[in-house]
Amino acid sequence: GEQEGDVVDDECPICFTPLEEEGMVVGVLVCSHAFHDSCLDMWVGQCHGKAIQPTCPMCRAEMVRCHHR
């Protein structure tokens, strides 16, 4: 198989489209997983709808946005 130098999973794990989509804001959580900001908002809304504390969809760490990129 072909080896790629740096394998960066640059797909949003929520919607499976590229993170660097034009016009999309990327939110990065303290656990260092990155998502589209709008997808995170949707996820948080779903969590609140089920009356559960929002956690990272990837690792279930406490959801704290540390920065945008």
Structure tokens at 52: 């559960």
Q: Check whether 5 has a pLDDT greater than 70.
A: no
Distance of CA 48 to the CA centre of its chain: 17
Give the residues across from 67 on adjacent strands.
28
Task: Give the tens place of pLDDT for each residue, 12-61.
Answer: 999 999 998 889 999 999 999 999 999 999 999 999 999 999 999 999 99
SS3 state at 35: strand
For residue 8, the model assigns a pLDDT of 55
Q: Check whether 69 has a pLDDT greater than 80.
A: no
Distance CA 15, CA 24 (A): 12
**Are residues 24 and 37 in contact, defined by beta-carbon separation less than 8 angstroms?**
yes
The pTM assigned to this predicted structure is 0.79
